[in-house]
């Protein structure tokens, strides 16, 4: 893990996640009745819970809107959920005004072009391993794991490690 990423992670107060391709593997599953389902990784969920327990606020900003994501956010206790919003930087501006935070205090994990304006602007902008190549090139760092396969957990642990909270987060379960 690079010193630059750890330095960027030190002052993070808000971690923001995209959904499709980040918290999921990016595939969309549609049933005959028109409903859809997504699969989420439990390691990612535990990482988000550990991050919140350390005092970092979390948010989801997704271009798509689905009840499954609302249910997952509620299940994890993620306090800020924005769905059906392609204008992610505008959403982030609203959230930062509400929370009284600056861009430098934000970490963002994304995978595709709608995530790029936020990745470029925040203090720690990261891409998942299987993100679009242009997004990977623009990000501060790239996870080793693919979206939906532990990338969010890796992202959370990077922030916890940068803030000196990873061992305490792990020890809480011993």
Q: In sequence order, which residues have a C-beta less than 8 Å from that of residue 74 and are 6 or more positions away? A: none
Average pLDDT score, the chain: 95
Whether residue 57 contacts residue 79, with contact meaning beta carbons closer than 8 Å, is answered with yes
Please write the tens of the pLDDT for every residue from 22-39: 999 998 888 899 888 889
pLDDT, position 173: 75
Quote the pLDDT of residue 30.
Answer: 86
CA 158 to chain centre: 12
Residue 20 assigned as binding residue: yes
Question: What is the average per-residue pLDDT within 110-132?
Answer: 98
pLDDT more than 90, % of the chain: 85
Q: Is 18 annotated as a binding residue?
A: yes
The answer for residues whose C-beta is within 8 angstroms of residue 29's C-beta and 6 or more apart is: 36, 37, 38
Give the residue with greater pLDDT, 28 vs 51.
51
Digit-coded pLDDT (tens) for 146-161: 999 999 999 999 999 9
Q: Tens of pLDDT along 58-106?
A: 999 999 999 999 999 999 999 999 999 989 999 999 999 999 999 999 9
Per-residue pLDDT at 170: 82
Whole-structure pTM over 0.85, yes or no?
A: yes
Report the candidate in 164, 132, 161, 150 with the shortest Cα–Cα distance to residue 1: 161
**Which top CATH class is 3-166?**
alpha beta
Q: How is the chain split into domains, by residue range?
A: 3-166
Structure tokens at 73: 């956010």
């Amino acid at each position: 893990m690079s010193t630059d990423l750890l330095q960027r992670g030190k002052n993070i107060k808000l971690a923001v996640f995209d959904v499709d391709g980040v918290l999921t593997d990016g595939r969309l599953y549609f049933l005959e009745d028109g409903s859809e389902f997504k699969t989420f990784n439990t390691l990612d969920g535990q990482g988000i819970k550990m991050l919140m327990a350390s005092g970092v606020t979390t948010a989801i900003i997704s271009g798509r809107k689905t009840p499954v994501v609302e249910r997952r956010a509620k299940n994890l206790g993620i306090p800020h959920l924005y769905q059906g919003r392609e204008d992610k930087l505008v959403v982030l501006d609203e959230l930062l005004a509400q929370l009284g935070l600056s861009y430098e205090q934000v970490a963002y994990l994304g995978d595709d072009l709608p995530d790029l304006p936020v990745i470029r602007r925040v203090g720690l902008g990261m891409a998942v391993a299987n993100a679009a190549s242009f997004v990977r090139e623009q990000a501060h760092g790239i996870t080793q794991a693919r979206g939906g396969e532990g990338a969010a957990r890796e992202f959370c642990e990077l922030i916890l490690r940068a803030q000196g909270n990873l061992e305490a987060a792990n020890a809480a379960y011993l």
